[in-house]
Structure 1
């Protein structure tokens, strides 16, 4: 079964994107269409078209061009709505720093099919991701998302030696770098919440929030043991030098606080102390992050209204099985 792929681009790193697309081209018989949402000017649009032309006809693709930036969350919401409206059964969210080996996508989709045939309910799926950061040894990039007592989310086993996991594991969330969204799951979450991803997040943490919100609504996140998916994340520490990244990280921490309410994972007291530390740091050391707190505070009532709507629902009783 072929799958549609959703790729959101804003100021792409072209060399990295070319590597990712070259891997997709080798898997063209496993892919229905690659859908790009490019936010940028005409020159970037022309460059993307020229790059795709180099790979020839085997890889089917569509480019959606906008001059505004919807962000990761809003961009994938936009693309998934279009793709599912054309009758797709599944959409794979794909980061341009990801590489897929031939055959891995077919095996992944087949594993999902076997799971959905034997389990009752709605699910989100993601493969175990291998890191490309150390060519000398195989290490884990992400085996799902977990939360700390202070309300931080991290990638499970990131940096640990690669190993064989159970075929299907329920986790707190799945990285948005490679996330398989079934049509029924998308329709259900959108019908209840209004959007798949919270568009206020723009970028960072939206996948972690999705995992918790989905589970509150009876949708489980399943990490599938699968070889052949490699994430070229680079050095995570370098992002701390980026003021925009820092600001969005702070902003989204507080969006999660108000959107999830008492359902935010972690120890309430410890997470509250960390919230206070983040606020103090933004007021003193990292003042470039202060606008993020202000924005999150400004829309807190809207986020809280979503939280209350979910709390007041009578949820369908899905089986908590894998």
Structure 2
């Protein structure tokens, strides 16, 4: 085990950021970084992987204190970080993604925990996505067959706190407490410089994904621990890299997992896990196809099947338990298709099939179908009438079945919560009074001021304004309001509204609605 000694000639920390075509995210990131290293001896190195969006030309005049390193080719995450690490002068190396926002206390809290835990070789933090939701990859286990299978097939999402089903994300460990863990995320990873050098840095065979898992594994093999630090939280948008929900992400990520397994596991265990991962990738692709079908043309068909089944069960129950004789005619053959047709029309008109979870719209569509059916029932010949109770019972059963089906789709994130009532062009801004004039001027220059329905100077007023104005998005302005406050507020909102971030005096606004969605940027 390497003994780490303090070197007074070194800075406390070197922050290394690899950039590729995300200049506006990096602009906001660097503003947050410089507030986070106040009072520390630190340096910031940005290594640009041959960006084509003019990142260097845009950012160098804004941040002359940053050491920018321009590469002629995209070397990938591992090679670029290793290149910068050789130039770094810090006792600790903080590898940071450009689509992150640090709180003012983030670096200090990480360094404090590293000092308090001499056995810690590396350290990661509690991360939230751009919607304020906790990112489970903040703490992870090493790849194993069963946990990887549950992650790929979605069982981990159904049981997020299970030590068995969500073992990969260590779901049983409290996200608000510090823990030694297996794997830290490379999006924000603090590593002891001498240990990083001893291990020869990131393995450059990994181009994208897997580098952090591999380094975490080698750190533990060297006798150190990897620590998850819940003392501070950061934002990690993730929207400007490969989308996590995409098939391309699945292929890249799990190929990296296979590469890791082949490198570190041997014999039958390695072969078994690799084969299992390949099977899981095929299953995930199949699940993706099923998801596309279910959430598009399949949804109305499944709705019709649920309604037909529950009407048939209601009819059968009524025949066998209430009226002890069969119906004269099999009226259900005519009744249910008519009921379903009216339900489909009402559901489509209300937007129920827009991949959202909307129980009120289910009730509305069922109510229209029920009233229409009862009206038509009254016009039937006497010999064709059977029982209004069957229609009512079938409708109630259908409502329950449709709700349970959509509740399950919501749980596995195939549907989104209903945003009905939120007005897309309405935004609420949380900004300190000292920064409000500058923010208003920027918004006017971007022609965004017409979307802002209320300017708020504290979190309580902002939260009330979002509800009162049915606002679709909330823009959080850092400056005199600390990023620590804004991250805590985002954590409190947890997806109730779309979140955007802007540093007072900067030239851009950034955001991402979830880890599965592309990022949003607005700039001059």
Coarse TM-score class (shorter-chain normalised): 0.5 to 0.7
Query: Aligned pair 1:21/2:30, yes or no?
Result: yes
Which residue is 1:294 aligned to? none
Helix, strand or coil at the partner of 1:198? coil
CA–CA distance in structure 2, aligned partners of residues 165 and 21 of structure 1: 27
Conserved in 2, the CA contact under 8 Å of 1:23 and 1:101? yes
CA shift in 2, pair 1:25/1:234, >3 Å: same
Which residue is 2:266 aligned to? 262
Which residue is 1:178 aligned to? 188
Query: Aligned pair 1:132/2:144, yes or no?
Result: no
**Which of 230, 253, 258 matches 1:249?**
253
Helix, strand or coil at the partner of 1:199? coil
Offset, 1:96: 0.9
**Which of 187, 193, 213 matches 2:218?**
213
Which residue is 1:144 aligned to? 139
1:34-53 matched pairs, under 5 angstroms: 34-40=44-50, 44=53, 47-53=55-61
CA–CA distance in structure 2, aligned partners of residues 285 and 236 of structure 1: 23
- Structure 1: which 5+ runs fail to align? 191-195, 287-322
Conserved in 1, the CA contact under 8 Å of 2:16 and 2:45? yes
CA–CA distance in structure 1, aligned partners of residues 107 and 135 of structure 2: 18
**Which of 79, 92, 95 matches 1:93?**
95
Which residue is 1:311 aligned to? none
Offset, 1:268: 6.3
CA shift in 2, pair 1:151/1:228, >3 Å: closer
1:195-236 Cα shifts (integer Å, max 9, x gaps): x22111101122112222322232321222322422223599
CA shift in 2, pair 1:263/1:235, >3 Å: farther
CA–CA distance in structure 1, aligned partners of residues 12 and 218 of structure 2: 28
- Structure 2: which 5+ runs fail to align? 1-10, 152-167, 289-524
Query: Aligned pair 1:64/2:66, yes or no?
Result: no
1:277-314 Cα shifts (integer Å, max 9, x gaps): 2686899999xxxxxxxxxxxxxxxxxxxxxxxxxxxx
Conserved in 1, the CA contact under 8 Å of 2:258 and 2:274? no
Offset, 1:2: 4.1
Helix, strand or coil at the partner of 2:232? coil
Which residue is 2:121 aligned to? 123
1:107-148 Cα shifts (integer Å, max 9, x gaps): 2212212222xx4xx611222x2313434xx63554421144
CA–CA distance in structure 1, aligned partners of residues 112 and 267 of structure 2: 33
Query: Aligned pair 1:164/2:176, yes or no?
Result: yes
Residue correspondences, number: 258
Conserved in 2, the CA contact under 8 Å of 1:89 and 1:183? yes
CA shift in 2, pair 1:279/1:38, >3 Å: same
CA–CA distance in structure 2, aligned partners of residues 172 and 77 of structure 1: 22
Offset, 1:17: 1.9
**Which of 80, 86, 89 matches 1:75?**
80
CA shift in 2, pair 1:283/1:234, >3 Å: closer
CA–CA distance in structure 1, aligned partners of residues 220 and 237 of structure 2: 28
Conserved in 2, the CA contact under 8 Å of 1:124 and 1:185? no
Helix, strand or coil at the partner of 2:266? helix
Which residue is 1:271 aligned to? 273
CA shift in 2, pair 1:110/1:284, >3 Å: closer
CA shift in 2, pair 1:263/1:204, >3 Å: farther
CA shift in 2, pair 1:99/1:157, >3 Å: farther
Offset, 1:260: 0.8
Helix, strand or coil at the partner of 1:200? coil
Conserved in 1, the CA contact under 8 Å of 2:29 and 2:98? yes
CA–CA distance in structure 1, aligned partners of residues 263 and 221 of structure 2: 12
Offset, 1:179: 0.6
CA–CA distance in structure 2, aligned partners of residues 96 and 165 of structure 1: 26
Greater relative contact order: 1 or 2 (C-alpha under 8 angstroms, separation 6 or more)?
Answer: 1
Helix, strand or coil at the partner of 1:124? strand
CA shift in 2, pair 1:22/1:16, >3 Å: same
Helix, strand or coil at the partner of 2:85? helix
